[in-house]
Structure 1
Amino acid sequence: MTVSRFARVLRKVFFTAVALVSLCLGGVVCLMCQVLAGRDAPTYRVDGHVVSHERGALPVGGDDDAVSHTIAVDAGNRRYRITAVSAGLDLPPGQPVALDVSTADGAVAYLHAGGGVVDLRPGVVRPVLLIVAALLALGAVYFGAVRLNVYPPVATWLALALGAVLAPVAVFVRL
């Protein structure tokens, strides 16, 4: 095998690896954008009452005294089961509650009971950190590919710009 043929084979393998890594990192960005979009999706209100309440020990962050609360809420035609480490879920059976249910995925976003509100949405720190890390890794992959002359620079930056524009559009169209 000559050096030029070896270089062409290596370039094809590297091109495929860069494409696959880019696809995976772009998927992470899209998925985390979808998580953030679903977190703040519109909600609708459902009234119901607590049917059952269970307490369980749940070690959180080294705290062995943390207690998880699991309640079942009967909302007429549907029954919701909610588990969280929150004193706001310490509700007796029969307590009337109102649930704000997400239109994106049907998950309970807020629970209103006795004048208090419990926020049950997932946090934003992990998705934002994953988006930043994936974009930095994607930039490093493209920078390395351009430096090794696998891609022409114009094609690389056009593909990156097109992906950055289309990824959020695809996520919001899905919602």
Structure 2
Amino acid sequence: MTVGRFTQVLRKVFFTAVALVSLFLGGVVCLMCQVLAGRDAPTYRTEGHVVSHERGALPVGGDGGEVSHTIAVDAGNRRYRVTALDPGLDLPVGLPVALDVSRADGSIAYLHAGGAVIDLRAGVVRPVLLICAALLALGAVYFGAVRLHVYPPVATWLALALGALLAPVAVFVRV
């Protein structure tokens, strides 16, 4: 294999690697944006009552001192199960409650019991940090690809466009 042929093969492999890294990092950004959008999706309210309550240790991690509460709520046509560390979830069986259920994914956003409101939504810190890290890594990949002159900047931007177009597909197909 000649040096010229080797360089061509190296460029094709590098172009494919940049496109795949773009796909992965773009997928991370799209998935975290989807998580953030689902967190604040519109909700509907359903009412029911607590039919069971269990206390237990965390199934994974923790320092052993935290107690999780799991309740089951009968809302007439559907039964919901909620597990959280919040001590406000320590509810007696038979207590009437109202649930704000996400229209996006069916998860429970808020639980209303008596005068208390318990926020059961996922936090925003991890998705935002992952979005920032993925965008920084994507910038580093493209800076490195153009800086190393492995192939022209047009090809780099073509790889970026390919990754950006394929990333939402990968997210929604859950590859």
Q: Aligned letter for 2:20?
A: L
Contact residue 59 and residue 66 of structure 1 kept, 8 A: no
* 1:12-55 deviation line (CA, Å, top 9, x unaligned): 11111111111011111100100000001010000000000000
Residue 97 of structure 1 aligns to a residue in which SS?
A: strand
For the pair 1:123 / 2:117, whether they are aligned, the reply is: no
- Residue 77 of structure 2 is matched in structure 1 by 77
Residue 33 of structure 1 aligns to a residue in which SS?
A: helix
- Residue 132 of structure 2 is matched in structure 1 by 132
Q: Between Structure 1 and Structure 2, how many residues are aligned?
A: 169
Rounded to whole Å, the distance in 1 between the matches of 2:165 and 2:114 is: 45
- Residue 2 of structure 1 is matched in structure 2 by 2
- Residue 48 of structure 2 is matched in structure 1 by 48
Give the percent of matched residue pairs that are identical in Structure 1 and Structure 2.
Answer: 86
- Residue 106 of structure 1 is matched in structure 2 by 106
- Residue 13 of structure 2 is matched in structure 1 by 13
Query: Which TM-score applies when normalising by structure 1?
Result: 0.87
Q: Aligned letter for 1:99?
A: L
- TM superposition shift of 1:58: 2.2
Name the structure, 1 or 2, with higher relative contact order (CA <8 Å, separation 6+): 2
Query: Which TM-score applies when normalising by structure 2?
Result: 0.87
- TM superposition shift of 1:146: 1.1
- TM superposition shift of 1:64: 2.4
Worse overlay, 10-19 or 152-161: 152-161
CA RMSD of aligned residues (A): 2.5
Rate the CA distance shift 1:162–1:42 in 2: closer, same or farther, 3 A: farther
Q: Aligned letter for 1:126?
A: R
